[in-house]
Structure 1
């Protein structure tokens, strides 16, 4: 009896393994190397399309008219592919339908495989919808794919905007190879993410990322009253982290650091960050604070803190890519950009690094700095980094956004940040 059960169990394990391997090779394929590049005009176009779309959806006159062409779709796909380097997106508009394609390379050294997905959207008797999707070699008919799409929208977008968007999507039409979404006498669609989307970003509480952010905002307010002429971000950051250390006697130091960093971002970058930090604190409760400087510049403070917030809400790679996209957009001088700045990029990366590694900073490390030396401990030297570069100059001098010169400067910024004294300030133990 025991031998029979053992053989049955062994056959079941082998069968499951064979099915898993078969499924793996059905939904994956050899990755296709792409030569696609991103341009400043892509970022500018994508930003304009997204901004205009949100504004048109929310307009109160009741008439919604959105039109997308191939150039706009290409820009959106290029920006999405750049923001997520392991995934490549593409799309094609034609008189009969819209084909969207995505390829995600798996992080495997062997076998080298990628997951390819594609969906074909077409008008039908029931409205504009998915005709079919493919996951590798597996075909998913519309009666399976469309409920999944609706579930995804309802999961990401808060009510009632989710239902409004789905109704508008069903009205899609293809006219002269352009995708039209039109609705007359429609209620304004005010987009907001579903509350559950923010839950994964919680740190010290099940309800908020920074449960005690209000305490630290009040600490900043008191510090500003005591030092009315002080305008250095590093000064307030250092003072607030010392408060966090003293307060950590009754709680976790990482939690207190997180509360303090969120307070800095809310007070000195954008008041609306309070929604992500602690939605129980209302906007009018955030104290008004003067602009702060980092390396003598207001814009570097914003780059630093915005990147720190993106790191806390997402991950390092996403934070860095968003910073890159902002600078690529600035390189589009034709649209009013100030040019690509590696100084701004350094502030982006420094803010990301600060948020990522703050939890590992010990009280002994922090105590080695004062308000004067702390700035040099969190922000690398930038005097020799190029700024104001046009896209043409980037191409000529650095080989473009994927060129060897560009990558070399990125690596130099990373090297300088890794060498910052805040993260390397404790003396190493002597070796006997």
Structure 2
């Protein structure tokens, strides 16, 4: 009997040492892939054009569709997805003939460890989805058959979700080529509706309905319909975030409540309404038409709220880049480049990041919001409506010293706005 216990003790010790050795090999002190550079306005412009060209809702013959994605855009998309799901993570895909090399680094700093989990995998093209040919975690090689078992198990769990079922029905095959991939998918009449349901699950729809109902109540109050016809965002935000505060207690998800409040306001201010995102919202109580304003302008709330939602969903750099891209597009063909619009974008980005990272603190700050200047500083003196050539001649383009000086002035004013302070 004593020898059995001794054997068991040795076995447990060997197992523990093996696990420690595996951890030592798997975790590393530096990332394999450095953090991604900030998204540029050019990246956003290219992605926007790509989405317009490949919008599956456009009428085309048949249900079989093909999407060709350059390697650069694939990496941009991959890193934005990782930014949402795994803050501090980065990845890079290198495409070849029938094969793809995927490298990723995930920081473990949130666990209090100055370590990185680095993945290095080779994917091989198959008749349907690519399969794992090689996988290395840190310095630990993982046999291909083990990696494939892991992925099969992961895919089985994903298939049990609405998102997984949709992806399984949608994607038929992937072809890998040097510097680009081809995605073959099937777009049916119900696919778009299923995508919306997958993006906004029932629990989130119920949360959005609460804020839609609250906005409808506010739209019926006399204060929401002043003589000048505009409803100040500074009037709506405290009321919406008071509901967020109430729904966050006890034990609620304050960040999710903040997101729902901002998303409801953003879609209303843009004129689209929640029905653009949630088809079931057509049957909800509808807010009365309100022109949401800030400093008597209806474009400032749109800039601010949309940037806030983008900051929550995709992180600050993406929201900043989209704001700059819009202004550059306006300078070429629209109303012109406006630094005060950039200020509204930056204010919204700060608001969104606070809503996500300090949700209860933002709820408390907005409870004391009484004046528009508390939400966004006065930027009426900043240059606006600049044509592309005038913008280039005066400021040297995006990133030039004169342009950066204007951005620094915007940041200085935002820093002096207590509600938006970090």
Task: Give the TM-score taking structure 2 as reference length.
Answer: 0.69
Q: Structure 1 residues 379 and 76 mapped into 2: Cα distance closer, same or farther (>3 Å)?
A: same
**Whole-Å separation in 2 of the counterparts to 1:151 and 1:409:** 52
Q: Structure 1 residues 383 and 123 mapped into 2: Cα distance closer, same or farther (>3 Å)?
A: same
Question: Structure 1 residue 302: deviation in Å?
Answer: 1.6
Q: Structure 1 residues 109 and 393 mapped into 2: Cα distance closer, same or farther (>3 Å)?
A: farther
What is residue 64 of structure 1 aligned with on the other side?
A: 65
Paired residues for 1:302-313 under 5 Å:
302-309=302-309
Q: Structure 1 residues 414 and 200 mapped into 2: Cα distance closer, same or farther (>3 Å)?
A: farther
Question: Structure 1 residue 93: deviation in Å?
Answer: 1.9
Give the aligned length: 395
Paired residues for 1:97-176 under 5 Å:
97-107=99-109, 112-124=114-126, 126-132=127-133, 134=135, 135-136=137-138, 137-139=140-142, 141=144, 143-144=148-149, 146-148=151-153, 150-151=155-156, 154=159, 158=163, 161-166=166-171, 168-169=172-173, 172-174=174-176
Question: Structure 1 residue 97: deviation in Å?
Answer: 1.6
Q: Structure 1 residues 42 and 361 mapped into 2: Cα distance closer, same or farther (>3 Å)?
A: closer
Cα pair 2:69 2:182 within 8 Å, conserved: yes
| SS of match in other structure, 2:92 | strand
Q: Structure 1 residues 98 and 213 mapped into 2: Cα distance closer, same or farther (>3 Å)?
A: same
**Whole-Å separation in 2 of the counterparts to 1:296 and 1:354:** 25
Question: Structure 1 residue 266: deviation in Å?
Answer: 4.9
**Whole-Å separation in 2 of the counterparts to 1:28 and 1:386:** 50
Question: Structure 1 residue 239: deviation in Å?
Answer: 7.4
Cα pair 1:43 1:328 within 8 Å, conserved: no
**Whole-Å separation in 1 of the counterparts to 2:57 and 2:281:** 30
| SS of match in other structure, 2:152 | helix
Structure 2: where are the runs of 5+ without partners? none
Cα pair 2:100 2:124 within 8 Å, conserved: yes
| SS of match in other structure, 1:121 | strand
Question: Structure 1 residue 343: deviation in Å?
Answer: 0.8
| SS of match in other structure, 2:191 | coil
What is residue 393 of structure 1 aligned with on the other side?
A: 397
Paired residues for 1:188-207 under 5 Å:
190-191=191-192, 192-193=194-195, 198=200
Tell me if 1:420 matches 2:416: no
**Whole-Å separation in 1 of the counterparts to 2:365 and 2:102:** 53
Question: Structure 1 residue 360: deviation in Å?
Answer: 4.7
What is residue 352 of structure 1 aligned with on the other side?
A: 352
**Whole-Å separation in 2 of the counterparts to 1:384 and 1:105:** 43
Structure 1: where are the runs of 5+ without partners? 425-432
| SS of match in other structure, 1:393 | coil
Aligned-residue CA RMSD in angstroms?
Answer: 5.1
**Whole-Å separation in 2 of the counterparts to 1:329 and 1:262:** 21
What is residue 382 of structure 1 aligned with on the other side?
A: 379
**Whole-Å separation in 1 of the counterparts to 2:362 and 2:189:** 47
Tell me if 1:208 matches 2:213: no
Paired residues for 1:23-422 under 5 Å:
23-29=22-28, 30-32=30-32, 34=34, 37=37, 38-55=39-56, 59=60, 61-76=62-77, 86-107=88-109, 112-124=114-126, 126-132=127-133, 134=135, 135-136=137-138, 137-139=140-142, 141=144, 143-144=148-149, 146-148=151-153, 150-151=155-156, 154=159, 158=163, 161-166=166-171, 168-169=172-173, 172-174=174-176, 178-182=180-184, 187=188, 190-191=191-192, 192-193=194-195, 198=200, 208-210=206-208, 212-223=210-221, 226-227=225-226, 229-234=228-233, 236-237=235-236, 240=239, 264-269=265-270, 271-273=272-274, 281-282=281-282, 285-309=285-309, 318-330=314-326, 333=329, 339=337, 341=339, 342-352=342-352, 355=355, 359-360=360-361, 366=367, 373-383=370-380, 393-397=397-401, 412=412, 415-417=415-417, 419-420=418-419
**Whole-Å separation in 2 of the counterparts to 1:182 and 1:241:** 43
Task: Give the TM-score taking structure 1 as reference length.
Answer: 0.67
